[in-house]
Chain A
Amino acid sequence: MLSTIGITELLIDWSAGKDDALEKLFPLVEKELHRLAHNYMRKLQPGNTLQTTAVINETYIRLIDQNKVQWQNRAHFFGIAANMMRRFLLNYIRDRKAKKRGDGAIEVSLADSMLVTEQKSHEILALEEALCMLAEIDERKAKVVELRYYGGLNADEIAEVLKVSVVTVRRDWTMAKAWLAREVRK
């Protein structure tokens, strides 16, 4: 069983600037997200889409002791979730690629490996390189992309997480997209 207190402390530590706290926080959040993923995918009716914010929120509420953390930590948590998804997908795709080259070359069956298509995998891998470069030039813009693309948050939510105006988020997003599109095309 997860310890709510432990996770909350880690989150507080991390917001206070202790970077290693994030590394410890990560697997715990991931595990919870996995469980949620399970539940959500099961309940998901054909044709409906997920309320991303709801998923992350639920994760947050389940994991964090609300009495101990300030509201702004929730924003941090959203950041963690988006970042986590980014890492997960990258690992997932790289893993699968390695398996394809190696002995796991069997196309096991219907839907498994086709969930994330080749095209999508390619897009994500190409984006990753460009996104890292963007983070060096303009960290906030890279963060906007992360929250939007991986975290599925909308402009209002991103504005809340990053403590900037919605207009800024929109501008950041446009600029980042233009820049990334160009880089990826190179």
Chain B
Amino acid sequence: MKNNWEKVEKIFHTTLDLPSGERKTYLQKACAGDGQLFSEIESLIDSLESEPGFLAEPVFELGLGAMHKNGQKSFAGTTIGFYEIHEKIGAGGMGDVYKAVDTRLNRPVALKFLSESLENDRAAKRQLVKEAQAAAALEHPNICAVHGIEQTGEHHFIVMQYIEGRTLAEIVEKESIGVDNFKSLARQIVTAVAFAHSHGVIHRDLKPGNIMLTTEKYIKVLDFGLAKVIRQKHLIDGEIDNKSNFSQNGLVIGTVSYMSPEQLRGEKIDYRSDIFSVGIVLYELLTKKNPFSRKSQAETIAAILSDKPPRPEKFKSDFPAGLINLVEKCLQKEPEKRFQSAAEILVELDKAESENYLEIASKRRRKFFIKAAAAAVILAFVLAFAYFYAARRSQRTIAILPISFENPPAEKEYLAGGLTQSIIDKLSNLSDLDVKSEFLIARYKGKTIEPRAAGKELNVDAVYAGAIINRADDLFFNYKLIRTSDGVVIASDEIKIEESKLIELQENVTSRIINEVKSNLTDEDKNRLAKKDTGNDEAKRLYFLGRYYLNRRMNDDVNNAVKSFNRAKELDPTYAKAWAGLADAYLSQSLPGVENAIPPVEAVGNAKAAAKTALLLDNTLCESYNSLGMISLKYEWNWTEAESYFRTAIARDPDFLPSRVGLINVLSNQERYDEALEEAKKIKETDSLSILSDAELAKIYYRKHDFEQMDKIITDLFDKNPDNTRLPYLQSYLFLKTGKYKEAIGILEKTYQSEKISDKVFVSAPLGFAYAKANRPAEALKLIENLDVLAKKIYVPAQERAVIYIGLGDVDKAFEYLNKSCAERYSTLPSLITDPLVDDIKSDARFAAVKKCANL
């Protein structure tokens, strides 16, 4: 070719200079029959014309850009500010990341430098500082801690926790992940995301490369919120504003493979965008493949926008369907069809777990659960012991009596309860001050009692008696702190109440008590006291209001409670107690007798998500462990889990009586009566004044068919509390099982006359049973008829009618209704299994199925 190169060149140029119509003729002539020469030149002209874009853009600038990127290496080995910079450990859209040592604290950190283009953009920088601050507020074991953002000379950098480990991207590539491991990773990732969301931070760039697994097997999610700045910057620069711009100048802003459809469309995104990305990450963990990754960026984008991800079939045998469904739900194109919050994913993960547990039920798993339960029990004992030890050592005990409020304006009534509870909550933070729990002081609510007498009864060193006084439309809080031993008033004051400054009031009042009661505070005390549950006064007010509605529970109160808590948590998404209250309120929404009750499935889902969020924000909240325990006990019939939640709550606060009662129910359902009796006796350690402990004992003996013991306890209780209104009802069950039907009917008929429809429903079962046994079948049938009529208007559990049919000896009908109850998953079906009222049908073969239905 070199030989005729000059000739080729000459003819090439001459041809090219001609108008295209004349070229062929000339070329043929010039080549003079040399076919090879002809086709050589023809092909050159051809290539030139068919590829006008070839080499059109010089790459010098691109090279400088790449050099510039590479050039940032230069930080390694230098010292900036207090940081000794070691090797580069990563590079990102924001800039490069180095391992460094903070010489002040002598701890390893990771420094993320801002790229120069960001350095020059003030708005971006301001935003970045803001985002970094938001991210810095995220303290969670599964989130890489951001220590701060610093500036030294011309350099801006983010100081982060240094993490030893690998990214999920590395792990996915090299290892396959089993079910257990998957669940553990998924749970940690989702927990981190849920936590950030509850703090108002959206990640926006979740992908395996941003998620690390530490050498201790903890997930750490990196770069929360930071992507926002970078993306915005690029949007401004016009590099990503529409699809055609993606490869312009060869510049693209990073991988699109983990973006949500709405993110790609440049729409405003919310938490649910992260949920989509989480879905892709989880999918990749399952299958080792990104479901949308294609050869080119454009195809990937198209896939995210419109392709349905292939179902990871090959994992079907190994992975529970629940997990696969969960991943698919995250990957829905429309945000409305995805999980609406990360906390909801956690709930589903739990479900998938128990599903799996039931499905596979392998020995290994059982062993694991038993081990886990045993561990929980041991932990509970250790913690309880530690608590009691501490309590015994403490010198001071105090009771905050329910704050009274005479003739309150309806809309202010909530203040009394709210204030009482908030004072107790705040004081409970102190290490050696024993504050009597709200459950103990509840007995004094609405009663006039001399404070010192109450103090003596409760056996406390000091009593705090407060009253809200309505004076010329202004509210005042008047309080006295009284020493029980001699009745001396240690402190008293009157403070004007401003509803818009409830936090200040709470702080004011509690610090006064602390000053008087406790001479020296430990550093830990001070820290705990300084921590406010919310800084938003209106959120606090709404929380008080929510609790007030929830306690009163009249008419539309439950729904109002939901609204109040919801609003409170919107005002301050980090207000854990608002989430906890919301969980309780949701749970109450499904209770029979509540106006506009919602189906349990829905209520429970909402409640569980809210309770989990509450615990993410504050893992010390007993009420949330209790809510979760209640959900397991009443709706999910997951005994292991219920037991573990209740024990956790009790371990944190032995005075948290609802969890003690919940635990007793769990144990009784499983016929673990001796343990249940132990628990019931322990209630006395907290509460020796009420009949709670003995009443629980009586119920356990009833279920244990030990009617003699039951009788003994009830007789004893009657002696001490002749006026107690709950005792006769308890006694009626004893009568039912000891043949005293007439006596039982006497008690139960009274209850049946109650105004409350729910009372009527619940008493129908024992009353109908009694009629039937007392040979008054017509009246028993009449009760069933009434229930049928009622069932047309409100929800009437099938179970009540089953019990009456048992009394009537109509076994077929009884099972028909029991099976219905089972299908309804009615909350107390499991406790009916061990109720002596069903003794007559226990030997029937069909009973086993009902038992199985109740997970027993």
Contact = CB atoms under 8 A, between A and B. Distances in A.
Nearest to B44: A178
A108 B61 contact: no
Contacts of B67: 33-34, 37, 88
B167 A106 contact: yes
B146 to A, nearest CB: 16
Contact of B59 (A37, A124, A175, A185): A124
A124 B252 CA distance: 18
A55 B65 CA distance: 13
Given A34-B71, A41-B64, A177-B54, A85 B209 contact: no
Nearest to B54: A181
Contacts, number: 185
A105 B168 CA distance: 11
A46 B237 contact: yes
B70 interface: yes
29 contacts: A40-B64, A42-B116, A42-B119, A43-B120, A44-B117, A49-B61, A50-B60, A88-B63, A89-B66, A107-B209, A108-B209, A109-B93, A110-B227, A115-B62, A115-B69, A117-B252, A119-B247, A120-B59, A138-B5, A145-B55, A148-B58, A150-B59, A174-B16, A175-B12, A177-B48, A177-B54, A178-B12, A180-B55, A185-B47
B63 A41 contact: no
B9 A85 contact: no
A155 to B, nearest CB: 12
B48 A33 contact: no
A47 B209 CA distance: 31
A161 B50 CA distance: 30
A41 B117 contact: yes
B51 A89 contact: no
A43 B64 CA distance: 13
A42 B207 CA distance: 29
Contacts of B59: 85, 89, 120, 124, 149-150, 152
Contacts of A40: 64
B169 A106 contact: yes
A112 interface: yes
Interface string B618-654: 0000000000000000000000000000000000000
Contacts of B495: none
B230 interface: yes
Given A105-B173, A181-B54, A92 B44 contact: no
A182 B247 contact: no
A149 B247 CA distance: 19
Could you say which of A106, A175, A185 has the most chain B C-beta atoms within 10 Å of its C-beta?
Answer: A106
Given A37-B65, A92-B70, 18 more contacts: A33-B67, A41-B65, A50-B60, A85-B63, A88-B63, A88-B66, A106-B170, A107-B169, A107-B255, A109-B254, A111-B251, A112-B91, A114-B251, A119-B250, A171-B13, A178-B47, A179-B44, A181-B55
B236 interface: yes
A166 B205 CA distance: 50
Contacts of A34: 67-68, 70-71
A149 B53 CA distance: 13
B77 interface: no
A109 B48 contact: no
Interface string B240-272: 000000010011111100000000000000000
B210 interface: yes
A181 B234 CA distance: 33
Contacts of A4: none
B487 interface: no
Interface in A92-120: 92, 103, 105-112, 114-117, 119-120
A46 B54 CA distance: 25
A151 interface: yes
A82 B58 CA distance: 11
A103 B170 CA distance: 8
A92 to B, nearest CB: 5
Interface string B1-22: 1100100010011001000000
B60 A85 contact: yes
A50 B167 CA distance: 37
Contact of A105 (B48, B91, B170, B210): B170
Could you say which of A108, A124, A175, A179 has the most chain B C-beta atoms within 10 Å of its C-beta?
Answer: A108
B230 to A, nearest CB: 6
A137 B253 contact: no
A68 interface: no
> Which 10 pairs show the lowest CB-CB distances between chains A and B?
A110-B93, A109-B92, A110-B254, A152-B60, A178-B48, A181-B47, A182-B47, A152-B58, A37-B64, A42-B116
Nearest to B247: A117
B253 A110 contact: yes
Contacts of B379: none
A47 B170 CA distance: 37
Contacts of A116: 62, 66, 250
A115 to B, nearest CB: 6
B210 A109 contact: yes
B71 A111 contact: no
A52 interface: yes
Nearest to B166: A106
Given A88-B67, A138-B5, A150-B59, A111 B253 contact: yes
B90 interface: yes
A158 B70 CA distance: 28
A46 B48 CA distance: 32
Interface in A127-186: 127, 136-138, 145, 148-152, 171, 174-175, 177-182, 184-185
Could you say which of B55, B117, B120, B254 has the most chain A C-beta atoms within 10 Å of its C-beta?
Answer: B55
Contacts of A145: 55
Interface string B179-211: 000000000000000000000000001010110
A73 to B, nearest CB: 20
B214 interface: no
Nearest to A55: B64
A112 B9 contact: no
Nearest to A41: B68
Contacts of A35: 71
B63 A89 contact: yes
Nearest to A154: B58
A174 B69 contact: no
A37 B54 contact: no
Contacts of B94: 109-110
B227 to A, nearest CB: 7
Contact of B91 (A108, A137, A175): A108
Could you say which of B12, B47, B169, B251 has the most chain A C-beta atoms within 10 Å of its C-beta?
Answer: B47
Contacts of B68: 34, 37-38, 41
A89 B581 CA distance: 61
A92 B251 CA distance: 16
Nearest to A182: B47
B116 A41 contact: yes
Interface in B41-100: 43-48, 50-51, 54-55, 58-71, 90-94
A109 to B, nearest CB: 3
Could you say which of B16, B63, B94, B250 has the most chain A C-beta atoms within 10 Å of its C-beta?
Answer: B63
B178 interface: no
A46 B236 contact: yes
B238 interface: yes
Could you say which of B120, B238, B250 has the most chain A C-beta atoms within 10 Å of its C-beta?
Answer: B250
A115 B209 contact: no
Nearest to B173: A105
A124 B234 CA distance: 26
A90 to B, nearest CB: 10
Contacts of B252: 111, 114, 117
Contacts of A111: 92-93, 115, 230, 234, 251-254
Contacts of A103: 170
A87 to B, nearest CB: 10
A35 B116 CA distance: 12
A24 B851 CA distance: 87
B277 to A, nearest CB: 14
B60 A114 contact: no
Contact of B250 (A38, A50, A120, A184): A120
